[in-house]
Chain A
Amino acid sequence: MTAGAARAMNATVETHAFDLAKSSVRDLNAALHALKPGSNASLWRVANPRGLHAIAAGLDAPVTVEVDGPAGYYCAGMNKQATVIVRGAAGVGVAENMMSGFVHVEGDASQAAGATAHGGTLVIDGDAGARCGISMKGVDIVVKGSIGHMSAFMAQAGTLTVFGDAGDALGDSIYEARLYVRGSVKSLGADCVEKELRDEHRKELFERFRLAGIDGQIDPSEFRRYGSARNLYHFHVDNASAY
């Protein structure tokens, strides 16, 4: 069980219901943005999301938001502190530029999940589309399904853990970030190479499983590690064709 789910089950938490068939996303987000730093943890249940964009974007409070269905673009974008649970699929850019907090998508995620995110944890129960973790800067992303092409493109920091397969050009032009894939990798991008999976990485994977609430169920040794060969950091004329 995730931290958010555990919190959601705590009956003493102050609960708010919000129906997006009756109110706008702007109203919802305004109410969430109005929460003062240090305000009490509260639970916000959001009904009828119907793929609407920017649900629970820009939060900065230790609240839990449960989105009861499919969310559209940029759900939980720029998230700080909050736990956002999507009980369905998420559109383009879920948890984009997240700084901290926890975002859990119970269905599939579209393209650019966790793009540029600096921190926090993003867990996707289904598949993620293309460009998952593009330019990630410190977020921990766990995908229980597979990821699409060009994932972790120009990744700078953080971890991307994939239980299924990765598409073409994984980790193209990667700076620093650790990519763990259990299944097949269709192809590696420029300057991304497979690296040895040492004990420190098994330990790190175990921590990621714990974040996703599935520690103890999977052997970290089943994963392979990928990262930067660090050949494209500085201009070198022999690499001109790779830039």
Chain B
Amino acid sequence: MCGIVGLFLKDPSLEPKLGEMLGQMLGVMCDRGPDSAGFAVYGGGAPGKIKLTLRAPAGYDFAPVGAALGDGAELETRATHAVLTIADSREAEARDTIAKQFKDVTVVGAGQRMELYKEVGLPSDVATSFKLSGMSGTHGIGHTRMATESAVTTNGAHPFSTGADQCLVHNGSLSNHRSVRRDLERAGFSVNTDNDSEVAAGYLSWRMKEGRSLGEALEDSLDDLDGFYTFVVGTETGFGVIRDPIACKPAVMAETDQYVAFGSEYRALAGLPGIETAKVWEPEPAKVYFWDRAA
């Protein structure tokens, strides 16, 4: 089944409350996906710096990772994850250091502003463990998982990130992910897990690397991805939604002067400010919706 949520703020005064709002939406979707959860938040960032989200087993001490990279590396730990902020010119060095010296640490996301957290467990517990309610940002997406296509593991949880500041959550199942996976590998994109949704994320990253905008990449997916899907995707400045042409998987959106919100069900949106007077609608099948802060 799975539940997905997304929130894109138009009103900067709400930015300190992004995590609180997104966490509340995610909590309501627990019963659509109780086995694991994850979210990505587009928070603060500085030009010339990159944020790497790291993950390690419970109880892991990330401090030596920061120490190994010396001055200029900042580290903020949240439960099993830590965000390493470093000059973007040192990204390759940092990845190399982590790969060679810290076998238990995985880089799960990278970008100027994106931070990405996911874990096995009840979604509301996952959100609490990462202190989502205290996070601020401009937009974020989240997922509550009921596994169908691959095992219940942290690696199988959403969101998936396959490019800088890019991430995706998916409700549905893709039937041609094996063949798309081979196409991606030929194009030089490696897919790390058996999960069909990671293939979708990789596909969109590949299209955008080829010069397509987020909206255009989503258009392309209608031709190339087969199966059931509702995707919500985030980029550094944008937020997009698409449903497959049959629209098997549910989706409701709400828009006010202050925000655009997405939920698998209206219940997820019911606690948002001003929802009583918001424009509420179901996104149409095979139609791309996206909002961009840079536009």
Contact = CB atoms under 8 A, between A and B. Distances in A.
Interface in A62-98: 69-70, 72-73, 89, 91-92
Interface in B249-295: 250, 252, 265-267, 269-271, 276, 280-282, 285
Interface of A: 50-53, 69-70, 72-73, 89, 91-92, 108, 110-111, 129-130, 148-149
A130 B276 CA distance: 24
Contacts of A91: 265-266
Contact of B285 (A52, A53, A149): A149
A52 B267 contact: yes
B274 to A, nearest CB: 14
Q: Is the interface of A mostly helix, strand, loop or mixed?
A: loop
Contact of A72 (B246, B267, B271): B267
Contacts of B247: 111, 129-130, 148-149
Contact of A92 (B246, B250, B270): B250
Contact of B266 (A70, A130, A148): A70
A108 B282 contact: yes
Interface string B220-233: 00000000000000
A52 B266 CA distance: 8
Given A51-B265, A92-B250, A110 B282 contact: yes
A50 B281 contact: no
Given A72-B265, A91-B265, A51 B270 contact: yes
B111 to A, nearest CB: 33
B282 A72 contact: no
Interface of B: 246-247, 250, 252, 265-267, 269-271, 276, 280-282, 285
A145 B105 CA distance: 54
A21 to B, nearest CB: 11
A72 B32 CA distance: 14
Nearest to B284: A148
6 contacts: A50-B266, A51-B265, A70-B266, A92-B250, A148-B247, A149-B247
A89 B280 contact: yes
A52 B276 CA distance: 15
Of residues A51, A69, A111, A129, which shows the largest number of chain B Cβ atoms within 10 Å of its Cβ? A51
B170 to A, nearest CB: 19
A110 B250 contact: yes
B266 A51 contact: yes
